[in-house]
Structure 1
Amino acid sequence: MSITSTLDLAAVLIFALSGGLAASRAQLDIVGFVFIACLTAVGGGTLRDLLLGRDPVFWVQQPEYILIATGAAIVVFFTAHLLESRYNTLRWLDACALAVAVSAGTGVALSVSAPAVIVVTMGVATACFGGLMRDVVCNEVPLILKPGELYATAAFAGSLTALLVLWLAVPTFIALLAGAAVTFLLRAGSMVFGWQLPAYKSRPPR
């Protein structure tokens, strides 16, 4: 299995778990759990593959991704009640998935020799789109849009880091690992220490 396939697999599993937790907060039935988990798990990768013209899309070519997401949803359906804070667990799972998906999207774009700006864009899209769809469908304010959250910024920094490290003639795996680490550290710092970008503040018209 290639590096990008392994990263896609990890991202699918972790995002599916977060999707299952979102479904538990919305008190859906088991079919709803599977739908939300699969939507979250493959949403970002599907957008990436469609934009890059990859045919077929990764989970169509390898249906085991859907089976893994389905299995994760079923596990969460029967175990979510054991968690002390499902929302807090969801956020940390989402942070892990964000980091892995950034590297997966960046790696796939690199594998098709996409220009640098597209590489970074695909890293961000792969990482953010699944979680965005999860939150919208579950009628939650998307994490990517919540004030004071480093989310898309963390994904952007991680993908850019991977690209810059790769330009230093470092092996691809190490570069993608560096990108994942930067993404996770920024996202975790935002959740734990309140790191954030300055927000727009309106001023009276002159």
Structure 2
Amino acid sequence: MFGGLATVLDLFGVCVFAVTGALVASRKQMDVFGFALLATVTGIGGGTFRDLVLGRVPVFWVDDPAYLAICVATAVVVFFTAHIPESRFRVLLWFDAVGLSVACVIGANVGLSVGVSPFVAVVMGVITGTCGGIARDLLGGESPLILRKEIYVTAALIGAAIFVGLLRIGATTPVAAGAGFLSCLVIRSLALKYGWSLPTYRPRPGRTPQEVEDLQ
């Protein structure tokens, strides 16, 4: 649907996610092979799971090894430069927000390109944006960002939904993609800056035996 632009954006998103994987490796003081592993898993993990769910064979990086090359190259660069930023975790969070915003649009677009329903396409956007990060955090022994209080999955969901929704009402692809990307990025950025979160479950005391008896 994007044509060549889709490939460029997809490669960019993979590169950004690969940076976050390599940054986690730097926090854990891994060797260069650990950097490459986490960068690759993060960069292509979400898209791999998406393609497997959609039955796309071969998955995107098997068909185009440039994705793997970008992940490995990114890992090597970060291996020699990760010491530069003062707070690698903050850098990780902001890179992850950009990667999430790109991936939710690309994933939804891939879903639409294979003919799934708009709802499923939105889910594919969320999967593409979040699954690589989950694998990264689990392998790196970090608390998954998806489980943090700040809004995360919701941002990807809104970005993918806006992209698909605008296409459905006749918007051009660049406009829909830009709106989806910006909406996800703005929501995630504000959540990071101000600690926005959705309401959480709060435990409540159970009924007393007398209250249960009164209900019978």
**Does the Cα contact within 8 Å between 1:4 and 1:108 map onto a contact in 2?**
no
Q: Larger radius of gyration, structure 1 or 2?
A: 2
Moved >6 Å (runs of 4+):
none
Counterpart-to-counterpart distance in 1, 2:6 and 2:155: 20
Unpaired segments of 5 or more residues in structure 1?
none
Give 1:3 shift: 3.1
Residue number in structure 1 paired with 2:109: 107
Query: How many residues matched?
Result: 205
**Does the Cα contact within 8 Å between 1:16 and 1:69 map onto a contact in 2?**
yes
TM-score (norm 1): 0.97
Residue number in structure 2 paired with 1:198: 199
The Cα offsets for residues 58-110 of structure 1, whole Å up to 9 and x where unpaired, read as 10000011001100000000000111000000000000000000011011111
Give 1:182 shift: 0.8
**Does the Cα contact within 8 Å between 1:123 and 1:156 map onto a contact in 2?**
yes
Give 1:116 shift: 1.4
Residue number in structure 1 paired with 2:175: 174
Q: Which has the higher mean CA deviation after the structures are superposed, 4-13 or 95-104?
A: 4-13
The Cα offsets for residues 28-68 of structure 1, whole Å up to 9 and x where unpaired, read as 00000000000000000001111111111110000011001
Counterpart-to-counterpart distance in 1, 2:183 and 2:164: 12
**Does the Cα contact within 8 Å between 1:166 and 1:175 map onto a contact in 2?**
yes
The Cα offsets for residues 97-149 of structure 1, whole Å up to 9 and x where unpaired, read as 00000011011111112111210110000000000100000011100001x21
Give 1:197 shift: 0.6
Residue number in structure 1 paired with 2:38: 36
Counterpart-to-counterpart distance in 2, 1:164 and 1:85: 37
TM-score (norm 2): 0.93
- Matches for 1:11-30 after TM superposition, within 5 Å: 11-30=13-32
Q: Choose from 8, 15, 22 the match for 1:6.
A: 8
Unpaired segments of 5 or more residues in structure 2?
208-216
Residue number in structure 2 paired with 1:59: 61
Q: Residue 81 of structure 1 aligns to a residue in which SS?
A: coil
- Match of 1:92, as an amino acid? W
